[in-house]
Amino acid sequence: MKIIEHIDRAQGPLFSYEIVPPPRGRTVKDLTNIVKSILPYRPSWIDVTAHGPAAFYHERQDGLTERRVYKKRPGTIGICGIIQNRFQIDTVAHLLCLGFTREETEDALIELNYLGVENVLAIRGDGINYTQKINRESSTNTYAVDLVGQVHGLKQGRYLQELSDPLPLDFCIGVAGYPEKHFEAPNMKTDIFHLKQKVEAGAQYVTTQMFFNNEDYFEFVRLCRNAGITVPIIPGLKVIKKAYQLKSVPKNFHVSIPDELVDEIEASPEHVEEIGIRWARKQTEGLIDFGAPVVHFYIMNDSSSVIEVVKTFL
């Protein structure tokens, strides 16, 4: 089922979850165990992140260093297929602009369609540390709005090649939004202008970057509505579990952590998980009261603290 259908039919607050494919060379079993662990906590759908190729440096046996380009975490499509078909839970496959040609994206969408996956999150990705060689026969998407346009075109059966009587591919399209502004945007107004372009290109809902102060989300929703963005805006939450995340989360995701939460964790670092759970419960409660259609949890590789939060609301 499509995300917008889940939202339209919801009788109460929905919960969705986001997981990350295992690193190359590892088993998918740990991930399926995470999926099993959240089955009792009403996953309306599960997002599976995408990871573009990057350059890595390896020391060879002869002592020289060799540069190789590969994806550290491949498998988004296969994992969506497993969750969708083994667990009968809808999935959202993340699709990236950076590191992929439009031809590869079209192939990915065809595979997702064969697997029964009906939802994609169209995102740009972040700077990759190598220059992709693009031949004259291929093309790329630069911004997420371009990728939305490509997926939306397939809804009308517009493939990159002209095909006779092509079947349309009907995906529900989500995009990313930033309650604290995307780090590259000069200001919130410009960022929301670009978000609106993604919606006008065919995006049907927005999932936000994680935030730790609900006021940021409330204000973001208000600004989006004033700008004429009417699609559902799904808040994304992360539960802080380890003290080092006070530094790594703002650095990696360009978000801020309120002083009150930082002070509380620094005052009793041995209770960081408990504090993080309490904080996320308070945020979830506030978001449900506000009327957020769904609360989306960034689980990544560890569901235990997210489960502690969600079970309070079931």
Instruction: Give me the residues that bind ligand FAD (CB under 6 A), please.
Output: 49-51, 94, 96, 121, 123-126, 143-145, 176, 182, 184-185, 190-191, 194, 198, 207, 209, 236
Cβ 106 to ligand FAD, closest distance in Å? 19
Strand partners, 92: 47, 119
The Cα 43–Cα 155 span in angstroms is 27
Residue matched to tokens 């995470």: 34
Q: Provide the 10 A C-beta neighbour count for residue 255.
A: 21
Cβ 201 to ligand FAD, closest distance in Å? 10
Cβ 47 to ligand FAD, closest distance in Å? 7
Q: Which is nearer to ligand FAD, 146 or 308 (CB)?
A: 146
Pairing of strands 14-19, 43-48: parallel
Q: Which is nearer to ligand FAD, 2 or 181 (CB)?
A: 181
Q: Which amino acid type is present at position 227?
A: A
Q: Which residues of 172-188 are buried (b: 16+ CB within 10 A; e: fewer)?
A: bbbbbbbbbbbeeeeeb
Query: Using CA of residue 56, residue 59, residue 61, residue 62, what is the dihedral sign?
Result: positive
Cβ 147 to ligand FAD, closest distance in Å? 8
Residue 251 gets which letter from DSSP?
H
Q: Which is nearer to ligand FAD, 142 or 304 (CB)?
A: 142
| The token pair that represents 252 in the structure block | 């990696």
CB 233 within 8 A of CB 220: yes
Cβ 228 to ligand FAD, closest distance in Å? 17
Cβ 107 to ligand FAD, closest distance in Å? 18
Q: Which is nearer to ligand FAD, 77 or 272 (CB)?
A: 77
Residue 136 in 3-state DSSP? coil
Q: Provide the 10 A C-beta neighbour count for residue 193.
A: 12
Residue matched to tokens 């996956």: 117
Cβ 208 to ligand FAD, closest distance in Å? 6
Q: Which is nearer to ligand FAD, 51 or 272 (CB)?
A: 51
Q: Provide the 10 A C-beta neighbour count for residue 289.
A: 10
Q: Which is nearer to ligand FAD, 158 or 196 (CB)?
A: 196
Q: Which is nearer to ligand FAD, 199 or 265 (CB)?
A: 199
Strand partners, 71: 53
Q: Which is nearer to ligand FAD, 93 or 307 (CB)?
A: 93
The Cα 120–Cα 77 span in angstroms is 11
Cβ 81 to ligand FAD, closest distance in Å? 17
